[in-house]
């Protein structure tokens, strides 16, 4: 296939009428071009440029947090978090998450130990964290899954009592508040992702929010090869720098976030209202005082219903997602290992029943009604 042929095939695909679980937010092009003009005239495109620094300030303001450091993606944010806190041995974590949470632990030569989730919030169950602690445990890496805050007060108490470091993978929790305070304020470190599929994006990107100011210097070194000065490399760092072109996308997108969250909220409430009475269907119990509506997870009565709905939607050009199936503990690279020892009863149950429905700001009411009608029809047969 020559290039023009493959390009036109790609274009045909992108203008098809498929509905995906999410849709990327792109800023108005002329607004972005204003930033590009400035980048061109500065001749500075990466290495902690002025737009990265500006975006850090703007994000601290928007999210109401201190000590926010931008990195190139949410996965490196996790790795740098683990590295900067000098974690070793075992890390207690959740299996109901995106691959990056577990992979980052393994990438840092640490051992993930899986705790079960709570059946209402789908977040890690503090009682099971306690059961999994032993002499090798050095940290807890919890996830605010679908942006819903963990049991942060209980988990903090467990971490303090057992002298464990506490990291939150807050990849989904942009703008979320718990008890009227940013959820990113909890733990020693929170990390966030600005990947294209997340509700605030910089194409690829992420950030680290750190409680202890003394760690800022170290994290800055870790994200830039450990280079302290022209002739001094003081740490075996990595390259986790964001560039100016992506920071500019972020500065543009930040202006629309509030409006987008409001539109998402309307869709979320509409789904809940219309699907609320369907047999056995359950919604995540939201513990946030201010939520971002980044996902629309629904939990069916059983896996047969879930799989039927998934296929019916798919046949109609609607791509829902079984996030986060399979559990990370079931990834192929663990396969020679029996994970019965972890006793993940609730996580194993929920992961077979859950489905994330399409939700994004300009998903229109006709499309939503079509999705709802397909679900209703499927559950009746």
Rounded alpha-carbon distances, angstroms, from residue 180 to 50, 155, 290, 331: 31, 18, 7, 37
Q: State the minimum distance, in angstroms, from the CB of residue 124 to ligand PLP.
A: 12
d(CA 325, CA 348): 10
- Binding part of the chain for ligand PLP, among 50-58, 70-78, 128-136, 266-274 by CB under 6 A, reads 70-78
Q: Is 171 in the site for ligand PLP (CB under 6 A)?
A: yes
User: Given the complex with ligand PLP, which of 209 and 379 has the nearer CB atom?
Assistant: 209
User: Given the complex with ligand PLP, which of 172 and 353 has the nearer CB atom?
Assistant: 172
Q: State the minimum distance, in angstroms, from the CB of residue 79 to ligand PLP.
A: 10
User: Given the complex with ligand PLP, which of 75 and 121 has the nearer CB atom?
Assistant: 75
Spell out where the chain has E strands: 19-20, 68-71, 90-93, 111-114, 137-143, 165-169, 177-178, 181-182, 189-193, 206-210, 227-229, 232-233, 282-283, 297-299, 318-319, 354-356
User: Given the complex with ligand PLP, which of 278 and 344 has the nearer CB atom?
Assistant: 344
Total binding residues toward ligand PLP, as defined by CB under 6 A: 14
Q: State the minimum distance, in angstroms, from the CB of residue 120 to ligand PLP.
A: 19
Contact with ligand PLP (CB under 6 A) among 27, 74, 149, 187: 74
Residues 130-169 within binding reach of ligand PLP (CB under 6 A): 143, 169
Q: What is the DSSP annotation of 215-250?
A: HHHHHHHHHBTTEEETTEE-S---B-PPPHHHHHHH
Q: Is 294 in the site for ligand PLP (CB under 6 A)?
A: no
Pull the structure tokens for residue 355. Answer: 């489905």
Tell me which DSSP letter residue 332 carries: G
Contact with ligand PLP (CB under 6 A) among 19, 52, 96, 100: 100
Q: State the minimum distance, in angstroms, from the CB of residue 93 to ligand PLP.
A: 11
Q: Is 306 in the site for ligand PLP (CB under 6 A)?
A: no
Position with the least CB separation from ligand PLP: 74
Contact between 297 and 122 (Cβ < 8 Å): yes
* Residue carrying the six token digits 């937010």: 25
Helix, strand, coil percent content, the chain, rounded in steps of 5: 45, 15, 40
β partners of residue 124: 117
User: Given the complex with ligand PLP, which of 246 and 281 has the nearer CB atom?
Assistant: 246
Q: Is 361 in the site for ligand PLP (CB under 6 A)?
A: no
- Binding part of the chain for ligand PLP, among 72-80, 257-265, 353-361, 364-372 by CB under 6 A, reads 72-80
Q: State the minimum distance, in angstroms, from the CB of residue 197 to ligand PLP.
A: 7
Contact map string, positions 179 to 218, toward ligand PLP, x by CB under 6 A: --------------x-x----------x------------
d(CA 304, CA 1): 40
- Binding part of the chain for ligand PLP, among 23-31, 73-81, 130-138, 258-266 by CB under 6 A, reads 73-81
- Binding part of the chain for ligand PLP, among 80-88, 94-102, 130-138, 243-251 by CB under 6 A, reads 94-102
Residues 272-276: contacts with CB under 8 Å, at least 24 apart:
274/372, 275/372, 275/375
Contact between 177 and 147 (Cβ < 8 Å): no
Among residues 146, 165, 153, which one has the least CA distance to residue 93? Answer: 165
Binding positions for ligand PLP, rule: CB under 6 A? 73-75, 97-98, 100-101, 143, 169, 171-172, 193, 195, 206
């Amino acid at each position: 296939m020559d290039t023009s042929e493959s390009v036109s095939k790609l274009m045909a695909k992108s203008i098809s009428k498929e509905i995906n679980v999410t849709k990327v937010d792109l800023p108005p092009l002329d607004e972005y071009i204003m930033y590009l003009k400035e980048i061109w005239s500065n001749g500075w495109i990466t290495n902690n440029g002025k737009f990265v620094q500006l975006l850090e300030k703007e994000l601290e303001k928007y999210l109401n947090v201190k000590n926010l450091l931008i990195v190139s993606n949410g996965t490196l944010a996790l790795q740098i978090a683990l590295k900067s806190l000098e974690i070793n041995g075992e890390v207690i974590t959740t299996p109901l998450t995106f691959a990056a949470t577990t992979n980052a632990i393994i990438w840092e030569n640490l051992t993930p130990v899986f705790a079960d989730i709570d059946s209402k919030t789908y977040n890690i169950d503090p009682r099971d964290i306690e059961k999994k602690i032993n002499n090798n445990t050095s940290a807890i890496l919890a996830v605010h899954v679908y942006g819903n805050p963990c049991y942060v007060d209980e988990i903090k108490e467990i971490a303090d009592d057992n002298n464990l470091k506490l990291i939150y993978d807050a990849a989904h929790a942009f703008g979320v508040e718990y008890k009227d305070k940013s959820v990113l304020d909890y733990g020693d470190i929170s990390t966030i992702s600005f990947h294209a599929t997340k509700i605030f994006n910089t194409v690829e990107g992420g950030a680290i929010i750190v409680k202890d100011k003394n760690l800022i210097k170290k994290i800055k070194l870790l994200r830039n090869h450990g280079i302290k000065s022209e002739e001094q490399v003081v740490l075996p760092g990595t390259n986790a720098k964001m560039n100016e072109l992506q920071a500019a996308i972020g500065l543009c997108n930040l202006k629309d976030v509030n409006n987008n969250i409001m539109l998402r909220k309307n869709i979320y409430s509409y789904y809940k209202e219309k699907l609320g009475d369907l047999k056995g269907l359950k919604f995540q119990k939201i513990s946030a005082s201010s939520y971002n509506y980044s996902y629309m997870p629904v939990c069916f009565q059983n896996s047969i219903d879930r799989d039927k709905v998934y296929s019916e939607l798919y046949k109609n050009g609607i791509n829902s997602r079984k996030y986060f199936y399979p559990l990370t503990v079931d990834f192929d690279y663990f396969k020679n290992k029996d994970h019965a020892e972890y006793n993940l009863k609730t996580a194993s149950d929920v992961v077979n029943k859950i489905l994330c429905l399409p939700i994004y700001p300009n998903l229109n009411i006709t499309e939503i009604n079509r999705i709802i009608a397909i679900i209703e029809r499927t559950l009746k047969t």
